[in-house]
Structure 1
Amino acid sequence: MNQSSLNRRLTQAFGMLLGIGITIWILRGLGILTFLPGGIIWLFVLGAIAMGIISFAQRTWWRF
């Protein structure tokens, strides 16, 4: 797997995790998904932040 393919996959994972986290947060705020605990939302948001940091580091710092 080359560098651009890996970066594309990391960026896609970042977008998916962030999108799922925001969607769950909005649906929970509207009262549709009230049975989900807040920790699940935090897991998606923190996972998205971690993927974003790894994607940034892979693109700028890791030159293999």
Structure 2
Amino acid sequence: MSDAYVVGDPDGLSPLLVELRDAVSRELYAQLALRAERIELDAVPEVAYQITRQVERVLTHRQWPR
């Protein structure tokens, strides 16, 4: 098992998954605020793109264990 897993973490997520969850949550919150709290079906690809960019930022700025 990897060091990424935390024993006893109440939500059961590794630190990386917590960072990713938080990034996705922040972006969804921002997108909903921009779109009057409603995401139309035709906007889903753009929202998904923006979420993917946030995930990319987490993965590229994270300090990976050696």
TM-score (ref. length: structure 2):
0.46
Judging by fraction of residues, say which structure has more helix: 1
